Amino acid sequence: MQSSGFFGMTNQTIFDPISGLPPNGSTWVQAILAHAWVSVVDEAALWTSHGLTQWRTQLQNLREPQLDQSISIVNALGLAQTMKINVFQLHKRGGNEWSTAYAYAGFWNDLAWAQMFQFGLILNANSSLYHMGMSWDLDLNVGYEVTPVLTLTRLAIGPYDSIDLWLVPPPRALKELLVVFQDALFDALATTDQTIRFLTITTTNVDAAPPDWTNGNLTFFGGNPTCVYGDGLPFVQDSFGFYDACGSQTPLLIHLDATSVLFAHLATNATSPCDLVATPALAFACGIMVKATMTIFWHENVAPLVMPRIEPLITPASTSTLPLHISMMQFAATPNDTLVTLVADMLTSSTWSFFGWVTMYDWLLGHREVYAFEGDVATVTLMTRRHDYVQYQANPLELPQAA
């Protein structure tokens, strides 16, 4: 530890304040500094013996983590062939794209700020930031500039530099619904010879939004708490996303294809979802593709083969997902310049929930993520904006040439 480049800052801002705490602060510090490192196996065993079995890392978008995924294909003779299906190299995006720094700027910055302004990182010590009358949010991370997003986020979630971002995984029952839905649907399409017709239904993006957001002549500043300098615009804007560097303010668009539309329809029984689409041309396109999807499903003998398999799974999937309160939010102002935070649950509204279930389908397929913004005031769980898949070129040398 003492050979680390961070030891000087750590000693000044953590160990020195602890050393002054009675009754045994100094003794504890000396024991830590004299601690002998053990193997990873022994360390894991110690943690496990105390009931600590998992580690969660908060989301940050300064660096794109390295990812290397492979599958192994085993033939009838028991011979395995391994090939990579996904590779991402560790990539530093740079400070200009590091939007999650507003949520939390990293422990290394805590150390640097503490050393620069001569305060300690031990909350109950007299040298702490709070004893000095300072704020992580206003004095160090963001500053005293006032914008609608800054003001509303502090009220709705809490101060900046103290917001934890946690990845939320899909509930098991929701994933089970997806698997059975896809199996049942494509089995039925093949049986009725409707696969090509169904899969060639034209996809579309629609500017749908919760009706409460669009009926009040509001001005919108964005739907991402980490994009804090948005201009006021007349349209609802997209949600938080890992790759959103806050360089542009784009409208909230929901991608519709035949499978996501059918998934949402079966979960909600919605009859007129396209009424929420703002742009007439997009509403027309929405109506055409929804009608085409429903025609094949209900009038080509597909529904009788699908419904018995998925109906028992819809309620458990909904019941397990509702408590997560997955939402989208929007920072806005009324015509008299009153600032408001709009939060729409993706599944509880009788009208908006159709598009909420479309985003659930995107989530299950990996086109969206869900993150909990856990602040000192409240936690808001947000459905992200949609991302297309990144194509990976397989290595021909890894591909099996024979079964």
pLDDT digit string, tens, across residues 96-111: 999 999 999 999 999 9
Q: Which of 144, 175, 191 is the last residue of a domain?
A: 144
CB 225 within 8 A of CB 142: no
Average pLDDT, integer, range 82-93:
87
| 393 domain-assigned | no
Indicate whether 182 and 75 sit together in one domain. no
Indicate whether 77 and 173 sit together in one domain. no
Indicate whether 66 and 187 sit together in one domain. no
Summarize pLDDT for 214-242 with one digit per residue, the tens.
988 999 999 999 999 999 999 999 999 99
Residue 115, φ and ψ in degrees, nearest 5: -65, -40
Indicate whether 206 and 94 sit together in one domain. no
How confident is the model at residue 83, as a pLDDT? Answer: 87
pLDDT classification of 149: cutoffs 50, 70, 90: very high
Between these two residues, 231 and 350, which has the higher pLDDT value? Answer: 231
**What domain range is 338 assigned to?**
164-383
pTM, rounded to two decimals: 0.93
Indicate whether 290 and 359 sit together in one domain. yes
Residues paired with 67 in a beta bridge: 88
Residue 81 token pair: 């062939």
Average pLDDT, integer, range 350-368:
97
Indicate whether 120 and 218 sit together in one domain. no
| 154 domain-assigned | no
Q: Which of 85, 110, 144 is the last residue of a domain?
A: 144
Indicate whether 130 and 240 sit together in one domain. no
Residue 355 token pair: 């598009």
Please give the Cα distance from 35 to 197 (Å, whole number). Answer: 68
| 389 domain-assigned | no
- Domain count of the fold of the chain: 2
| 41 domain-assigned | yes
Residue 165 token pair: 């971002």
Whether the pLDDT of residue 161 is over 90: the answer is yes
| 135 domain-assigned | yes
Please report, for residues 43, 82, 142, 187, 309, the alpha-carbon distance to residue 192 in angstroms, rounded to integers and kept in the order given: 58, 36, 59, 9, 17
How confident is the model at residue 400, as a pLDDT? Answer: 65
Indicate whether 208 and 336 sit together in one domain. yes
Indicate whether 118 and 178 sit together in one domain. no
| 151 domain-assigned | no
Whether the pLDDT of residue 89 is over 90: the answer is no
Whether the pLDDT of residue 403 is over 70: the answer is no
| 156 domain-assigned | no
Nearest to 119 by CA among 105, 133, 106, 107: 133
DSSP-derived secondary structure for 177-208: HHHHHHHHHHHHHHHTT-HHHHHTSPPEEE-B
Q: Which helix (H) or strand (E) holds 69?
A: strand 67-74
User: Under DSSP, is residue 71 helix (H, G, I), strand (E, B) or coil?
Assistant: strand
How confident is the model at residue 52, as a pLDDT? Answer: 96
Indicate whether 182 and 115 sit together in one domain. no
Indicate whether 107 and 176 sit together in one domain. no
Indicate whether 127 and 227 sit together in one domain. no
Mean residue pLDDT across the chain: 95
How confident is the model at residue 401, as a pLDDT? Answer: 64
How confident is the model at residue 224, as a pLDDT? Answer: 98
| 158 domain-assigned | no
pLDDT classification of 94: cutoffs 50, 70, 90: confident
